[in-house]
Amino acid sequence: MTQPAPWSRWNPPVVLQLGLLLAFTTLAILFWTKAVWPQRFLWPQASGEAIFCIRTQDPVMALTFDDGPHPIYTPAILDVLEAYQAKSTFFAIGRHLEQYPHIAQSLVDQGHELANHTFSHPDLNRRLRSEIEREVQQTDTLLAPLVKSSQPYFRPPYGHANLVVMQALKDMGRPILFWDVDLLDWSGLSVAQMMTMLAKQAHPGAIVLMHDASPSPDGSPQASRQKTVELVKQILATYTPQGYRFVTLSELLTLGTPQASPSFCR
């Protein structure tokens, strides 16, 4: 009878198996966060078609909000902005516009700006060109009664925009607005931690990314954005006395030179 090879009888202890799994998971996360995720802006930067901030000496920033509108958090953020006479740009998801058109109208009535964040918040890098165009056009139709431009600003979900996405948007004549300050308000950080992040990154001409809702179909009522509401209060209370103004993207772009890479923003 043939004897099995010695290694075929090796059965690592459960603790060792768990350790190997943990090590592999840690390496995968490190690879994603250090190598893959930072490169998601590679094609937008290479294309020269995207804007990440502006160069200006004026003490001005643009606070932008993705994924809304939301029936609780968007109005709460609007109240804070109004208290400081600040204006912002909201990148809305089409299906949320369908659910809460009155909130979108209120937002515009208060002097804020609406922009396009697709209809259903897919990863456009995984979509055919026809699907990309449909996502943009569906939301454009909903935005049409609410915006002055026939080609409102666009921001791709997750910041994902490969060569196909960028070419489709270019052919549609679509202005693509990213950000250079991401406060990760969806990640569970405390308001204090996010304010520390902002203190290290804030500068005249910055475009700041936050979220007033969840991208899920029902807006994930359980996914609280209350920290974002508190964060906006802290930002305005801290930077307004320093002379900063908070404006829409349309106004920001008139105050300096648009930059096609976050590397040129500070």
Residues known to be catalytic:
66, 211
CB atoms within 10 A of CB 125: 17
Is the CB of residue 159 less than 8 Å from the CB of residue 178?
A: yes
DSSP category for residue 245? E
Nearest one of 125, 70, 119, 128 to 95, comparing CA atoms: 119
Sign of CA dihedral 122, 124, 128, 133: positive
HEC letters along 114-166? EEECCCCCCCHHHCCHHHHHHHHHHHHHHHCCCCCCCCCCECCHHHCCCHHHH
Residues 6+ apart with CB under 8 A from 99: 219
CB atoms within 10 A of CB 220: 14
Nearest-angstrom CA–CA distance, 211 and 225: 7
Nearest-angstrom CA–CA distance, 15 and 17: 5
DSSP category for residue 63? E
Nearest one of 131, 67, 79, 128 to 107, comparing CA atoms: 79
